Amino acid sequence: MKSKKGALVHWIVLGLLAAIGLFAWLTFETELGVQIKGEWQLDYLRNFYVEGQEELVQRDQEALFAGKEIALLLANNGGFAESSPCGVIDEVYYWNKVGSFCFLEVDAEVDKAFNVFFQKKYGKDQKYTVSHQGKELVGKSEEAIILAGPKAKHTIFPHFRVNLGYSFDDYFQLQNEAKSIVDLCKWKPDLRLCLEDTKLPHWKFTNCDTDSYTEENRRVVFCSESPGKYTILRLDGSTVPVRYRFGLDFTTS
């Protein structure tokens, strides 16, 4: 899937070529002496501007792929890029522990996961500051890319804004739901009965496909379908539902 920026780049360049060509026709004196009208401007566009725009389009495509992949990766890890402050047991990331709830810093986790995935996948050195705005993933880098030639150079700062068709805001709803469930059920002797009566339809036990209840020391693993009913469209054309896996601890002391 090509970004809108990619579709517009060549039209923008053609317009700039026409404008600079007209300007060059009217002004050709430079401090280096008389040159062919528009020679420097056209050389700059051919060797630097177009290449720079193509580089940014490429980053958009890479960021779009990376953003979709980390959305699925984070969902499987309860939203955490590395580890949960509330603990990881049997590869399940917990959202709470006795006396506290580990609310996600969503953009911080997205930023961390994106940079690890992006650098590993594409071998790019730039570190991006990444956040989400609705369904868009936005990133920018302070590390410049310099395109150098024999007579000039062009500096660009990589950035992107891509539409994932998915919003990380799902986490805010899910964690609020999780806190309500913990508050309602942590004192109940029959934990399973309370959870079955309390959990919402998009919540399942253990696995979204089997919905099988298991409990160990009042710790329960959940899988939730996306409250926003989001799916991820991958590059191979397959559509993957977003499902969140996490654990909750219902012990009181």
- Domain residue limits at 115: 4-249
Structure tokens at 149: 């030639």
**pLDDT tens, position by position, 60-73:** 999 999 999 999 99
The C-alpha atoms of residue 99 and residue 12 are separated, in whole angstroms, by 57
Confirm if 203 and 174 have CB atoms less than 8 A apart: no
Assess whether pLDDT exceeds 70 at residue 57. yes
Q: What residues contact residue 189 under an 8 Å CB cut-off, 6+ apart?
A: none
Give pLDDT tens digits for 10-29.
555 455 545 445 444 444 44
Q: Which of 138, 116, 133 is nearest to 63 (CA)?
A: 138
3-state class (DSSP) for residue 53: helix
pLDDT band at residue 43, thresholds of 50, 70 and 90? low
Q: How many domains does the chain have?
A: 1
pLDDT of residue 105 exceeding 60: yes
Could you count the other beta carbons within 10 Å of the beta carbon of residue 82?
Answer: 11
